Structure 1
């Protein structure tokens, strides 16, 4: 096996999958827009409209989220790193949650953008 790929195999040529996964993660750096696109897809599934606004920098991007039933309910969400870990942030610079808690983030945004008295997710 190629040592340059960061992949190892046992004596029978089977790949050690943890090494392969690590090599793939190192080869494909993730941007703020990538995280927001994933969140956008989740929010659209539950009925919200969202548009990612990318910046030339890969480390910060924003997304406008709108409740299409009540278009005055809108929010800007950011993805950015803090201490080397990616998080989603509210527009007032309060952390929502780490990007790996995307289901919880989706529910929190839906809660904020759902009018009182209407059922949530």
Structure 2
């Protein structure tokens, strides 16, 4: 991942983090050296329910959110839908 890609991934994850925090999820954004940046999303009512989310561009240049186990969540331009899908994975839908 290039420096530019890494920076753009962080930007997408920061937008998603803000959306999830607005719905009371706990989030932690990390950027380990040599690895893709990731957003740890935690269900505050059941802290053992957590997922790592990545942002990555596809071969066509479009950015997507992914669960750590390679499950595509949604397009990075649709943060609201991505947050809803993450909430459903964590068994909590907040509206």
Q: TM-score range with shorter-chain normalisation? A: 0.7 to 0.9
Q: Greater relative contact order: 1 or 2 (C-alpha under 8 angstroms, separation 6 or more)?
A: 2
What are the ranges of 5 or more consecutive residues in structure 1 without an aligned counterpart?
1-27
* CA RMSD of superposed structures (Å): 2.1
Per the normalisation by structure 2, the TM-score is 0.82
Q: What TM-score do you get using the length of structure 1 for normalisation?
A: 0.66
- Aligned pairs, how many? 90
SS in 1 for 2:27: strand
C-alpha distance after superposition, 1:44-63 (max 9, x if no partner): 00010001111456x93111
Residue 91 of structure 1 corresponds to 68
For residue 58 of structure 2, the aligned residue among 41, 60, 82 is 82
Distance (whole Å) between structure 1 residues aligned to residue 65 and residue 31 of structure 2:
15
Q: State the alpha-carbon separation in 2 of the partners of residues 60 and 101 from structure 1.
A: 20
User: Structure 1 residue runs of 4+, over 6 Å off?
Assistant: none
